[in-house]
Structure 1
């Protein structure tokens, strides 16, 4: 069967500044944390050891061209552009980002630029990070500076990438700095992130720029174990906390009433100001990026909550492992391709069918060198992963969903937060020692698919 996509469909990949660029003048939370606890990072490999995009941006963009990308998402590093978060703009950073943006446009690759991809400047974290409204204002200033510097050539902006992740990682589950376990503080961080997003949108609208502004959310459908009301309620609460806590403000301009009521009943609401509601209402977006990797499967709790334990989302549900599920054995994640369709249908039916695109989807595999044949990684498993997801995406589009494109994570194998180079995601293999780039089989497949705007599948 042939799967053909709409004209001008966005084919490309996504990356981030911190994971690709390498060392910078301004220190981030990752630099600070790695300097103090390198044991928390896989093989002791920190954020200085990346795929050196800062040096190799020109040849890397040529590789993007070779893979027939018509679009590419990366981020600007706040810490590179404004090393202390609030002061002088670094002219070297301006030169670098100007060159990257100009080269992408020159090669016919539309730049999609994210303003914040987990890389909080340490100077901002030292005054409380997203817990401090002064940091919200500093971010809004940074966003405005970016619009002024690059907004004539960047027409697609995203305020945040996966804003729920710093909340989960830094303030609930201890896998990002500052390693806090405190739901109220987590809720404050999430709330202030929404305010920061809305202030950036406000600044963009006020500047009357030619392009559009959005946000990238990792939407993880919450599937109940069964249709028993207790399981359905558990899935609903998980959806409220992990999806709708950001999805509703950016698409509807307000929070779900039942989420507010739930947090209020447990005294976990962040401090709000009367004018916040008006600001959030102004943060409605033009374009939604959707990152989808795996489903969330939940069931009702079958044991009592320890009242002495910290208040956590898991007070309301347990995770559930569906029998017979398909797994990526390397990453330990379930592969569930229909999830990408379910997300689109939910947006179509419940959120007014917003303009959106798949901004990340990907398969991380450990020890990929085992799959080298004739000097090239034969990652047929990744081709199958992409084509299965694209088939479900195609179904959603054929049923009227307003999805404009598909970006894979990622372009080149890159450094990944605490996992370093353990799981490889790229279309292009990176030799960390020599920095040599070699296109994988999946890269060739994607280049052909993008060129033809279609692919064939049995």
Structure 2
């Protein structure tokens, strides 16, 4: 029997954009995703945009009932900035306040611990039009937004997060063109990264000054980088990859400072952001209380044997290349490697190098395309998802026995939801969602998750 503590959190995570729907009504203004879909719908799988998604805005009571039936003692979602504050004048949308109060109260009435994240890739379009995270003014507006969330919803919220996977909107928005504004501008990417970290730190500072007594953290996708071989060139490549992929937000968020090696690279590449000493002081003095850790797949890397031309556009791949490891275990539907031991490695790294900070697995899951193939007697028999969870929980439990300070395990996600450019291509839910009818049905994994939560463990 793999056992977890009695107060261990079992639950799931989602975001406002991916679950709420009601994308253009009840006072909500466009986020960058609404706008991007409007101008380039062909980039979204099956031309499905964020307008409807999984309909939580209307169906949250039924969904909260299903959370209870699938064993949730915790749940994480986000607040939509462009719903709560739909215009640049900063006024709060009272319809949004009512919705979130009703939604969050329904969760609390079930005895479910509520984690709320302020930002999950969904910049309001009116702020993107003035530069988004590249504009220092947006940092201040973000702090005001967080204070409004605290003012209206603190009675329902148990734990706060400032950002979800901030490295993603940096890389995808300003280097690789997977998020709007689809720019390729490494200097702006660095400024966006710095301003995002500063926003996180200043929000923590402002909220604690306003009277926040609860813990506040940040969610990072701590994807470990593994070298192709024991050759020193490959090992060095992995060190560089970890600088960019993990330490760029982990170190300032937890330790209050940036790694010297990373700063040296940014200086050498002439990419230093605009900042002042007070900004660095605020980052140093306002670290997180705990961490959310998202993990799906490892990062395999090898040396980059090529010489960059002098005027090449900078990317982190100057220091390493991705490595496609032969014979890896893989999720054939998503194309991602399955490597559960990485969760153990993440846990030990946090134990040994980050003050054994309190943390939880805030996302871990398996996306599968066309799950109807696995339907039997009207229910999706997703044994592959159960096996995936068991394998990861085994290694998490091993790390906890060795002193890792993990407090919970949340899967992505409770119910099949919309996933950025992929829309509903890959399904992750413990509950099946029918796009045409809105019908919801618990999958086999959802019933297994209930037993896991009730028993605080499972039989190997």
| Fold shared, TM-score > 0.5 on shorter chain | yes
5+ residue gaps, structure 1, are none
Q: Deviations over 1:331-366 (max 9, x none)?
A: 011010000000000000111100000000000000
- 2:2 corresponds in structure 1 to 3
- 1:121 corresponds in structure 2 to 124
- 1:299 corresponds in structure 2 to 302
Structure 1 residue 42 displacement after superposition: 0.8
SS of the counterpart of 1:72?
strand
Q: Deviations over 1:44-66 (max 9, x none)?
A: 11111301000000110000011
Structure 1 residue 242 displacement after superposition: 1.2
Q: Is the 8 A contact 1:152 1:210 kept in 2?
A: no
Structure 1 residue 81 displacement after superposition: 0.2
Distance 2:231 2:179 in 1: 35
- 2:14 corresponds in structure 1 to 15
Distance 1:373 1:21 in 2: 29
Q: Deviations over 1:259-285 (max 9, x none)?
A: 001110111111121211111012311
Distance 2:417 2:158 in 1: 26
Distance 1:86 1:60 in 2: 34
- 1:39 corresponds in structure 2 to 42
Of residues 433, 437, 443 in structure 1, which corresponds to 2:436? 433
Distance 2:248 2:314 in 1: 17
**TM-score if structure 1 supplies the norm length?**
0.98
Of residues 55, 64, 71 in structure 1, which corresponds to 2:74? 71
Please say which of residues 150-159 and 239-248 is displaced more in the overlay. 150-159
Distance 2:149 2:52 in 1: 26
Q: 1:383 and 1:423, CA in 2 relative to 1: closer, same or farther beyond 3 A?
A: same
- Deviating 4+ runs (over 4 angstroms): none
Distance 1:228 1:307 in 2: 27
Of residues 266, 277, 280 in structure 2, which corresponds to 1:277? 280
Q: Is the 8 A contact 1:79 1:85 kept in 2?
A: no
Distance 2:421 2:88 in 1: 23
Q: Is the 8 A contact 1:86 1:138 kept in 2?
A: no
SS of the counterpart of 1:289?
strand
- 1:252 corresponds in structure 2 to 255
Q: Is the 8 A contact 1:11 1:407 kept in 2?
A: yes
Pair 1:230-2:229 in alignment? no
5+ residue gaps, structure 2, are none
Distance 1:195 1:314 in 2: 25
Q: Is the 8 A contact 1:85 1:138 kept in 2?
A: no
- 1:324 corresponds in structure 2 to 327
Distance 2:264 2:150 in 1: 37
Distance 2:167 2:195 in 1: 12
- 1:363 corresponds in structure 2 to 366
Q: Is the 8 A contact 1:115 1:143 kept in 2?
A: yes
Distance 1:33 1:26 in 2: 13
Q: Is the 8 A contact 1:17 1:76 kept in 2?
A: yes
Distance 1:372 1:171 in 2: 41
Distance 1:214 1:238 in 2: 24
**1:353-432 equivalences in 2 (<5 Å):** 353-432=356-435
Distance 1:274 1:158 in 2: 25
What is the root-mean-square deviation of aligned Cα atoms in Å?
0.9
Of residues 93, 112, 115 in structure 1, which corresponds to 2:96? 93
Q: Is the 8 A contact 1:3 1:455 kept in 2?
A: yes
Structure 1 residue 302 displacement after superposition: 2.0
Q: Is the 8 A contact 1:171 1:178 kept in 2?
A: yes
Distance 2:424 2:135 in 1: 33
- 1:54 corresponds in structure 2 to 57
Q: How many aligned residue pairs are there? A: 456
Pair 1:108-2:107 in alignment? no
**TM-score if structure 2 supplies the norm length?**
0.98
Q: Is the 8 A contact 1:78 1:85 kept in 2?
A: no
Structure 1 residue 86 displacement after superposition: 4.8
Q: Is the 8 A contact 1:204 1:213 kept in 2?
A: no
